[in-house]
């Protein structure tokens, strides 16, 4: 009996700590190290993601500078600069930093261009949504990306969706409409913000589809894709900034020589770059499913922080709309993960590509 219990406890320790934990003396330490590492990665993801959203909200809420396209363009330029810096550091310290060598190629840039157009729409509408609705309503305003995933997957790829997944989308839609209704009842509804949120959600879904199509052009490397995507975006943003008259607003901005302002702008670009790294890190050390669950919990915490920070008073129905959106998104992720497990031909990473966190693509669009 004792031998049986000892065997079971050893198997349990090995299951928790991994195959390297065959030594009973080191198994507990290995498990603790893994637990601490995973916790640190999740905390880092939460910190970067939440900070990025609040920082973008601060930059876009600047009444003295009404230039959301310029702010987004600057963040894309920072991302390109950081790609160059990372490539340089990777050459100097290859053991510490792993970053692909990227040389600009016109042909590759042209192949990535269709994705870049969608990418521009995604980050622009995303930032405009954040500008008009604020952080508290941001999760609900940008919640329809999952619904558009289903619609566009069927319309473009002819992929059908199971009844359970459709029911999850129904819960998300119900939460979205309830949230819009409650914002209107509270007198804080911005139809412009809702409109841009819906457009951003559609672009997020299109971005996922086009990303899969252009991945072979960059050898399947997400950092190369980010590099070309942001270079194309910088070029395409310039005529848009001129057409919408933002160049004159930037030139007339009173804090144009303020280092503090440019520091915050650069910090926004830095966090936009970092979100791609920490997203991949969290998926690597956990799983695509755990990543989406973590993201849902993070979105909930982000909403609570925004409400507390703004000293807002929200109704029970308003909170119910948020819970419907978050619950429906979590249930959809769970249903899709079960379906992928039953279909071994599917790439498990597709779940991460199909539904990353709504509205948190930063300047990378990851």
pLDDT reported for residue 289: 67
Rounded to the nearest 5 degrees, what angle is found at the Cα of 131, between the Cα atoms of 129 and 134?
Answer: 85
pLDDT reported for residue 131: 87
Element (H, E) at 282: helix 259-285
- Tally of residues, the chain: 366
| Among the listed residues 207, 247, 260, 266, the one whose alpha carbon sits nearest the alpha carbon of residue 85 | 266
Q: Is 95 exposed, middle or buried (0-12, 13-18, 19+ CB in 10 A)?
A: exposed
- Per domain, the residue ranges of the chain are 134-189+288-340
Q: How many CB atoms lie within 10 A of CB 365?
A: 29
- With beta carbons less than 8 A apart as the criterion, state whether 78 and 227 touch: no
pLDDT tens digit at each of 366 positions of the chain: 444 444 444 433 443 344 344 444 444 558 788 888 888 888 999 999 999 999 988 888 877 888 899 999 999 999 999 989 888 888 888 777 778 888 888 999 999 999 999 999 998 998 899 888 888 888 888 888 888 888 888 887 788 888 998 999 999 999 999 999 988 888 888 899 899 999 999 998 888 888 888 888 888 888 888 899 999 999 999 999 999 899 999 988 888 888 999 999 999 999 988 887 888 788 778 776 677 778 878 888 898 898 888 888 888 999 999 999 989 988 888 888 888 777 655 444 444 444 443 334 433 333
- With beta carbons less than 8 A apart as the criterion, state whether 155 and 103 touch: no
């Amino acid at each position: 009996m004792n031998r049986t219990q000892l065997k079971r406890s050893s198997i349990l320790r090995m299951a928790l700590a991994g195959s390297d934990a065959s030594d009973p003396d080191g198994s507990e330490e290995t498990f603790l190290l893994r637990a601490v590492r995973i916790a640190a990665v999740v905390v880092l993801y939460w910190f970067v993601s939440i900070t990025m959203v609040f920082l973008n909200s601060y930059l876009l809420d600047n009444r003295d500078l009404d230039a959301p396209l310029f702010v987004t363009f600057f963040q894309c330029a920072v991302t390109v600069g950081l790609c160059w810096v990372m490539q340089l550091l990777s050459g100097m310290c290859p053991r510490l930093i792993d970053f692909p060598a990227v040389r600009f190629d016109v042909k590759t840039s042209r192949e990535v261009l269709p994705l870049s157009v969608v990418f521009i729409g995604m980050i622009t509408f995303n930032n405009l949504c954040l500008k008009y609705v604020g952080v508290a309503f941001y999760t609900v305003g940008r919640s329809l990306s999952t619904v558009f995933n289903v619609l566009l997957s069927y319309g473009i790829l002819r992929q059908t969706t199971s009844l359970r997944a459709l029911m999850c989308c129904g819960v998300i839609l119900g939460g979205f409409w309830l949230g819009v209704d409650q914002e209107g009842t509270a007198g804080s509804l911005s139809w412009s913000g809702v409109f841009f949120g819906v457009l951003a959600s559609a672009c997020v879904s299109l971005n996922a589809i086009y990303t899969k199509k252009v991945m072979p052009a960059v050898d399947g490397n997400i950092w190369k894709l980010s590099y070309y995507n942001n270079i194309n975006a910088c070029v395409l943003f310039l005529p848009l900034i001129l057409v919408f008259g933002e160049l004159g607003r930037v030139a007339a901005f009173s804090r144009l020589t303020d280092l503090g302002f440019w520091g915050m702008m650069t910090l926004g670009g830095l966090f936009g770059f970092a979100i791609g790294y920490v997203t991949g890190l969290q998926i690597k050390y956990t799983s695509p499913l755990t990543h989406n669950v973590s993201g849902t919990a993070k979105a909930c915490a982000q909403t609570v922080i925004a409400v507390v920070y703004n000293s807002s008073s929200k109704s029970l129905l308003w909170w119910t709309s948020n819970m419907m959106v978050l619950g429906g998104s979590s249930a959809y992720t769970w249903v899709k993960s079960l379906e992928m497990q039953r279909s071994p031909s599917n790439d498990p990473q597709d779940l991460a590509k199909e539904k990353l966190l709504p509205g948190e693509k930063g300047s990378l669009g990851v």
